[in-house]
A and B are shown apart, each in its own frame.
Chain A
């Protein structure tokens, strides 16, 4: 019996030793906030990008989730303390404070953080996005569709009032304004299109997203833009129910996705486009920079030009259908109907509108059009004052 136990202990030790040798190439950690996996959006994208990069550059990836906010700092310290990790990626601004503390305590450890530009350090790579650029494209599409179909409003349901969401709102406002001007230029009449927007104060309560969307649809919104991660599920539900009640299966009103390409959600019936924010690209680039020895501290801003943000296209749909299958939300059998529904829905918007959106995209890319943004409440107030969009 004792001998058996001895053999067992040796075996276990041997296995763990082999395990240790296997780790020699290096490790990266991805730390998620309490939102955790399964949002089909922000957090899953962070995981996806890091996982891909770890595979491409031969790292072992470790995923660390936090059960409560009290775990943020201990988790970062635990990982940094081991000294085994080449890079720790923090996905989301909620981890900002913890990162600031941990990065000071472990100056040799390299960190990267998504969406936080205000906490910097010699060992921190800050990855921020110009969400305003993608949102401008979505806003222009919404405004043109509203004008085309005679709707009074375009809508947006946002989460908590934080700087990142101000980027979205500012861009959306600019895009709507641009779309109205474009319509006037093409058709010769100025359409009466306004903006409906709500900050729900949550990134988790899906019912609030649904309630806000229902109110907007009742007032005549042509589309609901989801800018609150999982709340999009509720927004899309509201749009779907609106169609069911009206007896229509596609066409306006539409749903606009966010962060990931969410066009495939709801069987592709009502999601016209998504304002993508490629969290995966940011994470991928951070790991790549470490692998190639080009890691630089400081703020890296990713916009349309860097492929960090964008409006969803056909190729993105295919990529993210895979993402949805990977998450277990859909199966391979759903793909043909999703693609069919999506194409049919897209065709309800005339080609010249799509061309106009492309024109805006080209303008932003070559720098001839600059999309405004906002980081503080005051800056946001200034943007709201400039683009009132129907509000008194």
Chain B
């Protein structure tokens, strides 16, 4: 009886998956977006807010005028990059959760350019290079652990996020601290900041850096041998290996590319976001930019061009969400805004989650068996002792 139930439920599961994945990707995303908006509206309605007015405020705040558009794009720029970190590795068949930590390292490295002076253009370039190298180096350790010792990248990158977090805390509090103001690091000097693109907004030229990087990644993945190898090993690792692709090299490549992207994201945040241009104690302006990138990657279908669009949408949610807080006579408090945003993002990531579900399942089984082996070894040891 119960096996029949599971069988029929698994059949339903597969059927739903087929239906969803059978749709045109663009149509699918729009449909998912509508479902998300409706879910958000329902939530707001249940708690006594006017969904129509709230959404109007949100769309006006996000895309209503050049100010709104600029605010949305400004928030989207770093998300493009952290989303790339995740998707490059998904394309190679891995789950790199480490964008968050690599982003912190990139930001910390970018701040160090405050200690010397260079001509403006060179100074900005130095910051970008420092940050990208720091991000790549930070991603290298989990990559090497995976290649040489078979350490699962989900576990190692999560751990490295924590190490990065506390290392960044330490650097902010004791090494890079502003001697006049203990709550932040020294600020990026005036001539090493990304110039503001639209006056009176947060949008700086860092957006171009992010978009350019996404296009480069697109070119690498779809128009070079290296990219082909990366995608092939993600698509079917055994076939790729049989075809003569060195899987270790593609893993390393995708980790390094991801690290470069996350490091650059750190640079865009500290060098491109007014007004402080420094890392603040507790990292409040960096927190979650890496994790949000994973959602952006899902919504953007793990495709660089899709990610650019998804990041602008995501930035719009943030920028518009700020406006929802004070618009009209019954504004929506931030907590509710974030719940609604969560509903929308969740709905929009479902199609891609279905698509990569087999990969997730495989990763899950691997992790599970790893944990089981570990626990059995521990209990075995206890038994013998």
Chain A residues at the B interface, C-beta cutoff of 8 Å: 12, 15-16, 19-20, 22-23, 29, 33-34, 36, 60, 62-75, 77-79, 81-82, 93-94, 97-98, 100-101, 105, 160-162, 201-204, 376-377
B169 partner residues in chain A, CB cutoff 8 A: 201
Q: Is B146 an interface residue (CB 8 A)?
A: no
For A62, give its contact among B71, B282, B331, B335 (CB under 8 Å): B331
- Knowing that A68-B288, A70-B285, A74-B322 touch, tell me 18 more A-B residue pairs with CB under 8 angstroms: A16-B328, A19-B330, A60-B329, A63-B333, A65-B325, A65-B335, A67-B318, A67-B338, A68-B284, A69-B280, A70-B75, A70-B202, A74-B202, A94-B183, A97-B275, A97-B276, A98-B276, A101-B275
For B325, give its contact among A64, A81, A82 (CB under 8 Å): A64
A117 to chain B, nearest CB (A): 13
**Closest residue to A166 on the B side, CB-wise?**
B182
CA distance A52 to B99 in the complex (A): 44
Of listed A70, A203, A377, residue having the most chain B CB within 10 A = A70
B79 to chain A, nearest CB (A): 11
CA distance A67 to B289 in the complex (A): 12
Q: Is B101 an interface residue (CB 8 A)?
A: no
B182 partner residues in chain A, CB cutoff 8 A: 160-162
5 interchain residue pairs of minimum CB distance: A69-B285, A19-B329, A69-B284, A161-B182, A65-B334
B337 to chain A, nearest CB (A): 9
A interface footprint on B56-99 (CB within 8 Å = 1, 0 otherwise):
00000100000100010001000000000000000000000000
Contact A78 B282 (CB under 8 A): no
A162 partner residues in chain B, CB cutoff 8 A: 181-183
B234 to chain A, nearest CB (A): 32
Q: List 16 A-B contacts (CB under 8 A).
A: A15-B50, A22-B329, A62-B325, A63-B325, A64-B322, A64-B334, A65-B333, A68-B284, A68-B288, A69-B276, A75-B322, A97-B276, A98-B275, A201-B173, A202-B282, A204-B282
Q: Is B281 an interface residue (CB 8 A)?
A: yes
Contact-residue size bin, chain B (C-beta under 8 Å from the other chain): 35 or more
Q: Is B232 an interface residue (CB 8 A)?
A: no
A82 partner residues in chain B, CB cutoff 8 A: 326
Of listed A66, A94, A201, A202, residue having the most chain B CB within 10 A = A201
Contact B287 A68 (CB under 8 A): yes
Contact A73 B281 (CB under 8 A): no
B237 partner residues in chain A, CB cutoff 8 A: none
A377 partner residues in chain B, CB cutoff 8 A: 179
B358 partner residues in chain A, CB cutoff 8 A: none
Q: Is B269 an interface residue (CB 8 A)?
A: yes
Contact A74 B71 (CB under 8 A): yes
Chain B residues at the A interface, C-beta cutoff of 8 Å: 50, 52-53, 61, 67, 71, 75, 169, 173, 179-183, 200-202, 269, 273-276, 280-282, 284-285, 287-288, 318-319, 322-323, 325-326, 328-331, 333-335, 338
B331 partner residues in chain A, CB cutoff 8 A: 62
Known A-B contacts A81-B67, A98-B275; the reply to A203 vs B282 at CB < 8 A is yes
B194 to chain A, nearest CB (A): 14
A97 partner residues in chain B, CB cutoff 8 A: 275-276
B338 partner residues in chain A, CB cutoff 8 A: 67
Of listed B169, B274, B275, B318, residue having the most chain A CB within 10 A = B275
Contact B183 A160 (CB under 8 A): yes
B303 to chain A, nearest CB (A): 26
A211 to chain B, nearest CB (A): 15
CA distance A77 to B201 in the complex (A): 8
A100 partner residues in chain B, CB cutoff 8 A: 275
**Closest residue to A34 on the B side, CB-wise?**
B284
CA distance A276 to B282 in the complex (A): 25
**Closest residue to A93 on the B side, CB-wise?**
B183
A202 partner residues in chain B, CB cutoff 8 A: 281-282
A207 to chain B, nearest CB (A): 13
B52 partner residues in chain A, CB cutoff 8 A: 12
**Closest residue to B68 on the A side, CB-wise?**
A78
Contact A64 B275 (CB under 8 A): no
Contact A101 B326 (CB under 8 A): no
B335 partner residues in chain A, CB cutoff 8 A: 65
Of listed B61, B67, B282, residue having the most chain A CB within 10 A = B282
Of listed B50, B182, B333, residue having the most chain A CB within 10 A = B182
Contact B326 A62 (CB under 8 A): yes
B49 to chain A, nearest CB (A): 13
Of listed A19, A71, A94, A376, residue having the most chain B CB within 10 A = A71
A19 partner residues in chain B, CB cutoff 8 A: 328-330
Contact B328 A74 (CB under 8 A): no
CA distance A79 to B328 in the complex (A): 12
For B281, give its contact among A33, A105, A201, A376 (CB under 8 Å): A201
B336 to chain A, nearest CB (A): 11
Contact B179 A78 (CB under 8 A): no
B313 to chain A, nearest CB (A): 17
Contact A23 B329 (CB under 8 A): yes
Contact B287 A160 (CB under 8 A): no
Contact B275 A73 (CB under 8 A): yes
**Closest residue to B281 on the A side, CB-wise?**
A160
Contact A74 B53 (CB under 8 A): no
A212 to chain B, nearest CB (A): 15
CA distance A72 to B71 in the complex (A): 12
A178 to chain B, nearest CB (A): 27
CA distance A162 to B183 in the complex (A): 7
**Closest residue to B177 on the A side, CB-wise?**
A161
Known A-B contacts A19-B328, A62-B326, A161-B182; the reply to A12 vs B53 at CB < 8 A is yes
B106 to chain A, nearest CB (A): 16
B322 partner residues in chain A, CB cutoff 8 A: 64, 71, 74-75, 78
CA distance A124 to B288 in the complex (A): 32
B274 partner residues in chain A, CB cutoff 8 A: 73, 101
